[in-house]
Amino acid sequence: MVDKMLAEKKETLIKYLIRTGHLKTERIIRAFRNVPREVFVPTHMKDYAYVNEPLPIGEGQTISQPLTIADMTEALEPRPGQKILEIGAGSGYQAALLAEIVGDKGRIISVERVKKLAEEARQRIKKLGYKNILIVVGDGSVGYVKEAPYDRIIVTCAAPAVPEPLKEQLKTGGIMIIPVGSWLQEIFKIKKTNSGFEKQSLGFYQFVPLIGKYGFSP
C-alpha cells in the first residue's frame, strides 16, 4: 500500500514538473520515473520523498528539491555515453539520475567531502545495481583529475567563484552547471569554447556551501 501511495505521489510530482516546464526532455523525464527518490532520503522521511522541497540527509547536508534538480539536469544537457563529474554526491540521487541518462557506455564520477555520506551513497547505488557510478571521497573544489576531461560537470553546492580546476577539467564544448554565491546563490550554465567560456544565468537558488581549497573554508 505504501509503495502504491509513493508511486502516485511520484507521478503527481513528475506531471507537475512537466506541466510547469521544469522537466522537458524525454530521457530526463524517464530517469526521474526510473530512479526511486525514496531510497535516497532517510527512512523516516520516505513519505516526503516526492514533496517538492529539499530534505535533510544528515551531516548538515540536504537532497535538493525536485524542481531544482530538474532545472539543473535539464540545463546540463546530459547525453548517452558521456562522462560526467558531479561535485557533491550527497545522497547519491543526482548521480543515479545521470547514470540512467548516460547509460552503460557513460560514466558518472561523484566527489563527496563527507565520508559517511559517500559510503551511504555507495550502498544505495550498489543496492539499485548501477555499474557506471564511481563515488570518491575528497575535496570537490579541485575536481577529480584522474578521470578528466569531462563532457559535463555539475556542482550541487555553492562556490564563492567558479573553481579553476573545474574549468580545466571540462572538455572544450562541454557544459558546467554551478551555483555561485555566499547566501542566495546564482546558478550559472558555463560552456567551454575554443576561445574561452560563455556564461548564462539560470536564476537564484539556495544551496549548502562547497567546502575546500577553491570553495569556502570549513
C-alpha cell at 9: 505521489
The answer to whether 35 touches 6, Cβ cutoff 8 Å, is no
Alpha-carbon dihedral sign for residues 20, 97, 139, 151 = negative
Out of 64, 91, 110, 141, the active site residue is 64
- Rg, Å, the chain Cα set: 16
User: Within its chain, how far is the Cα of 143 from the centroid?
Assistant: 14
User: Is 64 a residue of the active site?
Assistant: yes
Distances from the Cα of 199 to the Cα of 23, 77, 115, 158, angstroms: 22, 15, 32, 16
Q: For residues 103 and 95, what is the distance between their CA atoms, to the nearest angstrom? A: 12
Distances from the Cα of 200 to the Cα of 6, 45, 65, 67, 169, angstroms: 36, 35, 22, 19, 19
C-alpha cell at 93: 540521487
Among all residues, which ones are annotated catalytic?
64
